[in-house]
Structure 1
Amino acid sequence: MHTSDSRMIQKHPATFQCTLCPKRFTRAFSLRNHLRTHGDVRPFVCSVCGRAFTREHDRKSHEGLHSGEKKFVCKGDLRAGGQWGCGRRFARASNLGRHFRSECGRVCIKPLLDEEMTDRKAAWERERMEAWERRAAALEPSSQAAIWPAYGPQPRAAS
């Protein structure tokens, strides 16, 4: 989670601060892993071009670019049928994310976001109805007798 996104609440605040850059981390392990990016030791070498990296994950990600494989796709199925996205492919997840944030990408994911909003509204309506039904059940004549025992069961209003 990005610490700059004030709309989201972090369960574990980023308390581990890098002393060499502004980055913060929620775990000490993540900070230790990050600190290697500031060092000169680069033991992980690309088998294709010889570029060296401080972390094995970075080397593997880089080597994937040489293969030409683009496994991150702007495309998906909607539950109601149909698809979202333009089908454009990306070699890196970060580039797909950048695409989603672009004007074109926002158009691509609009059907997915619309579907999610419809689902959230339907869930909210279900919760509202269930709460209303619980309140109505609490006011049934049998429960009213317990509330007003001197008066006995209350007559129902004519429909």
Structure 2
Amino acid sequence: MHMGRGIINQGEDGGAPIILDKSIGERPDTEEPEPETSKPARPHHCSLCGKSFSQLMNLKRHERTHIGDKPHHCSHCGKSFTRLEHQKKHERTHTGEKPFHCSQCGKNFTRLGSLNEHKRIHTGEKPFHCSLCGKNFTWLASLNEHKKIHTGEKPFHCSQCGKNFARLWNLKEHERIHTGEKIYKCSQCGKSFTWLGDLKRHKRTHAGEKP
């Protein structure tokens, strides 16, 4: 088989050139590709939905979601759970335990998720973005409420007069017109008012201001 050759040195004193085999150290034209890194094997398959798991214990835990098996029971109310961590989380509602602590203000929380949400008050983070106007919100619920401005949705309905509202608290305020409820009370004279604005105006009479 003919091998490729090439001159790499003319040699000293004009001597004959030194010719070496060019194939030495060269990468072959055809080379087998390196095998791809194989994904972790998941030999355990759920016979009901086909989902695969690397460990048998994870498969067994998953299968409970299909058969309704809930082996973990709350010692306080008897409620059952598929997973132990869900039982432990639930039991805190009975014990009042709040193991998650805010390092900024010292407030404690039952759930880690609640602590992470609370921290946004300190950081000013607003991760929820309105795609229609670009406004950002700290809470997902606030974003969902805001979106009703764009859609015109008013899902909260007054059973007395049929008027609709975008926000629940607007409906609750409106219903006081029908019920006559007066939840705002003057701490100085005891007089009560339906609206907060009316209470504030009333307080000026005690301070000697014109309402």
Shorter-chain TM band: 0.3 to 0.5
How high is the TM-score relative to the length of structure 1? 0.41
Determine which structure has the larger strand proportion and give its number: 2
Q: TM-score, normalised by structure 2?
A: 0.32
The structure with the largest helix share of the pair is 1
Greater C-alpha radius of gyration: 2
